[in-house]
Amino acid sequence: MATIIKEVATSAEPAVVWDAVRDIGALHTRLVPGFVAATTLEPGMRVVTFGNGVVVREPIVGVDEVRRRLVWTAEGGLTHHYNAAVQVFPASGGGCLVVWTADFLPDLAGPTIDAMMSAGAAAMKACLDRLTPTTANP
């Protein structure tokens, strides 16, 4: 089974980032705009339309408020098994680290999934960095 891990460091505070991550129906507006074009909710899952037109159904496995961890699986797309998690960790000195892990089969899907996750991580960083409050100089 292949595993890909992406880490996104952001200056945004963990509570603000977690609020965006846990909003499972707003990927396209609050977390990865552009990478995801639309998200709709169905009982127990979200339906994600990626910017490249691919549509995947993502059953939500768990939302852990204490650990700030979201887990989902996927139906459709390139894989016959896919399980992913995003977790938000506070960073020393402020901001946070978002760790996105995906485990999937077949392994041959790795290069495509890695490229998609890299694009998603870049969109996530850009979006989250905009959530950092700025202070005006007196």
pLDDT digits (tens, 9 = 90+) for 103-127: 999 999 999 999 999 999 999 999 9
* Structure token digits, residue 54: 């691919």
DSSP 43: T
Torsion of CA 13, 15, 20, 21, to 10 degrees: 100
Give the confidence band of 134 by pLDDT, cuts at 50, 70, 90: low
* Structure token digits, residue 11: 């200056």
Q: Round to whole Å and give the CA distance between 23 and 53.
A: 22
Q: pTM for the whole thing?
A: 0.92
- Under 8 Å between Cβ of 21 and 88: yes
Q: Round to whole Å and give the CA distance between 91 and 94.
A: 5
Give the confidence band of 138 by pLDDT, cuts at 50, 70, 90: very low
The pLDDT of 11-33, averaged and rounded, is: 97
Q: What structural domains does the chain harbor?
A: 2-129 (3.30.530.20)
pLDDT score of 112:
95
* Residue 136 clears pLDDT 50, i.e. is over it: no
